[in-house]
Amino acid sequence: DADVTQTPRNRITKTGKRIMLECSQTKGHDRMYWYRQDPGLGLRLIYYSFDVKDINKGEISDGYSVSRQAQAKFSLSLESAIPNQTALYFCATSGGNTGYEQYFGPGTRLTVT
Amino acid sequence: QKEVEQNSGPLSVPEGAIASLNCTYSDRGSQSFFWYRQYSGKSPELIMFIYSNGDKEDGRFTAQLNKASQYVSLLIRDSQPSDSATYLCAVYNTDKLIFGTGTRLQVFP
């Protein structure tokens, strides 16, 4: 079984809808991250969390919110989806050998029409 | 200036050759460096990390770090078509990994 899972894997939604992307991990890591990836722009950090009570904004948090329900679960919400939020979204965890390297989930491809 | 810079490529090498991928970073205080491989439509996969100046080898991969010149490189020996992917350089900085936009590598038979 995968150590970091994301649901859904693909989602098509309409402008203005609220949508939640979920991430779960069995690695036992404390740190979790949400990124989006767009062609030519690379990976951009949306939010990150070092434990259940710690949530931090990344470089592109506007239009997004997160919830850390447990050590193993970190959800990303788009309150009112817009077309330029169409992207590939990745969840990641860290806490391995160095504490800094990150391990990624399989991704969610989100399309906002 | 971007914090982590990579040539977008594509870098094309023949099968069996050495592929050399380079990355420069702007924060001289950075201490930890990572290379990820990402196949099209898939998630990034950690290949190697390096902290100390010099070379670190793992199988066909060698990471090289030069902190004075602020660059990190990844060498892939005996390149295979299955190595064709985008390679992301990442630098640890203030609780986050800063990623470059990646270099696309094409290995042709």
The arithmetic mean of pLDDT across residues B83-98, rounded, is: 92
Beta carbons of A102 and B97 less than 8 Å apart: yes
Distance CA A106, CA A109 (A): 10
DSSP assignment of chain B equals: --SEE-----EEEETTSPEEEEEEES-TT---EEEEEE-TTS--EEEEEE-SSEEEEETTEEEEEETTTTEEEEEESS--GGG-EEEEEEEEETTEEEEP--EEEEEE-
The arithmetic mean of pLDDT across residues A3-28, rounded, is: 96
pLDDT digits (tens, 9 = 90+) for A42-94: 899 999 999 999 999 999 999 999 999 999 999 999 999 999 999 999 999 99
Beta carbons of B92 and A42 less than 8 Å apart: no
Distance CA A46, CA B76 (A): 32
The arithmetic mean of pLDDT across residues B12-39, rounded, is: 95
Q: Tokens for A91, please give them.
A: 């969840």
In chain B, what residues touch A48 (CB-CB under 8 Å)? 95-96
Q: Residues A65, A9: contact at Cβ < 8 Å?
A: no
Q: What pLDDT does A39 receive? A: 83
Distance CA B77, CA B17 (A): 6
Most A-contacting residue of B33, B42, B96, B103 (CB-CB within 10 A), to test interface: B96
Inter-CA distances, B13 with A15, B18, B58, B80, B95, Å? 43, 8, 20, 9, 36
Which chain A residues have any C-beta within 8 angstroms of a chain B C-beta? 40-43, 45, 48, 50, 56, 58, 88, 90, 97-98, 100-107
- Tell me the residue type at A68: R
In chain A, what residues touch B95 (CB-CB under 8 Å)? 48, 50, 56
Confidence band of A102 (pLDDT split at 50, 70, 90):
very high
